[in-house]
Chain A
């Protein structure tokens, strides 16, 4: 048995050697917001945070996450029935289409804004180009990040 801390909660899981974190999160912990897209860290749909750093969970061995704080899309809101500022911006911009990639997009965006609260277009491109959106909502994702960035600025000056 392996112990994983996901969104502040401890999960006892069966993690055979080599199993990527993605499948443990989805199948054993039942947190299906984190998506399978490619399996080789090409699309970003499986992005989660390990101690705040974005990683592709489809190529991250589950065992390597032991002892770290794992955050998934289900765990970014400050509390139950509220939304993270990035999620709010996503709704404001009506960003998703099919929505399948959006958990990963949001996790990458949250990590970006944690590092750099007011990124330029180029910095957003650099941080987000590992996340594919086949519905092509890149313009809206970018706008939503700018919107979240502005909201962060105004909330921090309150």
Chain B
């Protein structure tokens, strides 16, 4: 992991101004009375803000991240408990309150700076800048595959180690024995020579008076007892009994239900509505015009929905009201053409002289790719419960961004953020969607009009048609190869660059690169969709490298291996997926094998897909072999589950995922016309992890970008048809099969 220094932490400490240090509670005077009040009950000693020890010797890890099935509560508690040598059977967790004290300083710093090591003299300044930024952004998010690699590595482990260190010091001071003779194990500190021992809880009051060290010693991997093991996840038992409470399940006394219909065309307003009949419907409490949406409040969701369904509403016509998908793509294409002609493209990466190199190339490969808009389609439709009372606002929701929720509420209501309480619940899927606050804002505007709590529930139709979408894109790729098939030039013109900033990079050693992009206007709202820009770039670059391999008459695996020869991590991942997938072994007729590899969010993932293209043209993905180097998998089973999840999520998009715009609005509405992968379509997935000892990479997203190209490359292997437009279902593969059979 990143080498951390005293100076870095002094930087963080200074910013805390004598309260608490964000994430890294290792500085004297860091115990914030405010946070102590929030999380400690009577008889408990707050050692630092990331953990507490109760009189019964239970250790509670306080986790500043939302649980959406990624197992973050368990994995982060393990990291803390391992460093602390706590008794795992007595470790509990608590999700941190949505408070600025928990703003993810370490996380944002990690996002922006990655694992870079800074020159010592600026570390304090960097910490200061980022902490200020985090607080002002109200940044307490769960996303970017970042919880383990940033919060876990840079906060939870250090907090656990610091806690152990002061407990040891307290024992040493109390017993007047050298600290080196003490042993910490199972939440007990013992001194074998004098046959004395005490529990963490017994030592906690004395420990709280010890100055917290600035540099607690972290364990090396050989010393890990919990990290690297697959402890049963905390969140699972309640999820099999139905007791797990999601935002959708919140029940507040006196609560009513609301549902909403926003203008189908993004950006349009309500022109008129006729409430004469509907207002007297049974159970209906109120019908509200929110400007760009209409909401109905009723005794039950069903009454609200059936009323809204038949409510006559007219929306204003806008410049986008007649816009269709083809026109959007044409606009994008025109923008690319004119930006290219006028030299208006932004440069992503440039190396050497691609233009000249193309002229010298023996073989030119060129292709245009197209990708659709995608919705998130979390299992739990968007919802939020809000209650405004006594000048305060209470919110119940499942959010990846609870502090952002508070800030949004405070802004709308023009009240102090301290008057807003967020009760964060389990998330029924996030995938980036629940980092937004749109539904929260609606719920507050609705709750503002009544004096009782209201639960706003979106129908699946609303959820599909008012998402924030993965961008639709087109991309132009060009490569020049020499006589031997070696690439000597690479050019990529794409549209839209969000983040991560490196997403359009290629891992291959190719001299003379020109990667540039346009940013045309679009009225379709954009949002973070699992793996963000990697979700498009993974498909583009890994499809095109396959085209290059084919043009060079080389094996897809061998070609990648050759062009990554200077990158030992890529080499190992490629070798592992080669071996485990039995690459090159014969397959039945109309079957094919495809490979793809990409690095994202700090993890390198290669996947080999085995597909069969049926006589009816239908594609069946039978098997996916996944090899991944995440540096170190803290919770291997949880990490494997994340790989599986990311693969199925990306597969659904690759096979059938497509949101299209008709007359300015989303044409799809529910799972019948926005189909997702079901069990009978799901491949067998085999995941193999390499613990390379590199800084830990993320798990939530990195398996998603490579599944689409692995499958389309496999389809090419099976049929000779190169799929350059997703979803795959748009391509009729029947002809290819008739020819080959």
Contact = CB atoms under 8 A, between A and B. Distances in A.
Interface of A: 16, 18-20, 23, 26-28, 30-40, 42-43, 45, 72-74, 77, 83, 87, 90-91, 94-103, 106, 124-126, 128-142
A134 B240 contact: no
Contact of A141 (B230, B303, B671, B679): B679
B429 A91 contact: no
Interface stretch (B2-10, B641-649, B688-696, B717-725): B641-649
B118 interface: no
Contact of B69 (A26, A38, A97, A106): A97
Contacts of A138: 648, 677-679, 682
Contacts of B248: 32, 35-36, 100
Contacts of B460: 37-40
Interface string B353-395: 0000000000000000000000001111100000000000000
B684 interface: yes
Interface in B218-260: 230, 232-233, 235-246, 248-249, 251, 257
Given A42-B672, A136-B649, A139-B684, A23 B300 contact: yes
B237 A32 contact: no
B239 to A, nearest CB: 3
A69 to B, nearest CB: 17
B527 interface: no
A76 to B, nearest CB: 9
Contacts of B283: 16
A39 B306 contact: no
Q: How large is the interface on B (under 10, 10 to 19, 20 to 34, 35 or more residues)?
A: 35 or more
A87 B240 contact: yes
Contacts of B646: 136
A135 B670 CA distance: 17
B429 A72 contact: no
A119 to B, nearest CB: 12
Most chain B CB within a 10 A radius of its CB, from A97, A106, A133: A97
Contacts of B241: 33, 73-74, 77, 83, 87
Given A95-B240, A99-B426, 7 more contacts: A42-B671, A73-B242, A97-B69, A98-B379, A103-B242, A134-B431, A137-B648
20 contacts: A32-B249, A33-B242, A35-B246, A35-B379, A36-B381, A38-B671, A40-B671, A40-B672, A97-B70, A100-B428, A100-B429, A101-B379, A124-B679, A129-B679, A132-B676, A133-B648, A134-B377, A134-B378, A134-B431, A137-B644
Nearest to B67: A98
A16 B682 contact: no
B280 interface: no
A136 B645 contact: yes
A15 B241 CA distance: 26
A94 B300 contact: no
A35 B684 contact: no
Contact of A132 (B236, B302, B459, B678): B678
A148 B256 CA distance: 40
A83 B240 CA distance: 9
B637 interface: yes
B680 interface: yes
Given A91-B232, A139-B644, A125 B257 contact: no
Contacts of A38: 460, 670-671
B705 to A, nearest CB: 15
Nearest to B378: A134
B685 interface: yes
Contacts, number: 183
Contact of A27 (B233, B245, B301): B301
Given A30-B251, A73-B241, A94 B236 contact: yes
Contact of A94 (B637, B648, B679): B637
Contacts of B166: none
Interface string B418-434: 00000000111111000
A150 B240 CA distance: 19
Given A30-B251, A128-B679, A20 B379 contact: no
Contacts of B242: 31-34, 72-74, 103
A16 B251 contact: no
A99 B426 CA distance: 9
Nearest to A96: B239
B457 interface: yes
A95 B69 CA distance: 10
B68 interface: yes
Most chain A CB within a 10 A radius of its CB, from B238, B426, B638, B678: B678
B513 to A, nearest CB: 35
B282 interface: yes
Contacts of B638: 94
Nearest to B245: A32
Contacts of B379: 35, 37, 43, 45, 98, 100-101, 132-135
Contacts of B70: 97
B527 to A, nearest CB: 16
A12 B678 CA distance: 37
Nearest to B249: A32
B623 to A, nearest CB: 11
B299 to A, nearest CB: 9
Contacts of B680: 125-126, 129
Nearest to A26: B249
Contacts of B377: 134
Contact of B645 (A19, A97, A126, A141): A97
A130 B678 CA distance: 8
A20 B301 CA distance: 11
A121 to B, nearest CB: 10
Given A18-B306, A23-B301, A72-B242, A97 B641 contact: yes
Q: Which 8 A-B pairs give the minimum distances between C-beta atoms?
A: A33-B242, A136-B648, A97-B69, A100-B428, A99-B239, A98-B69, A73-B242, A32-B249
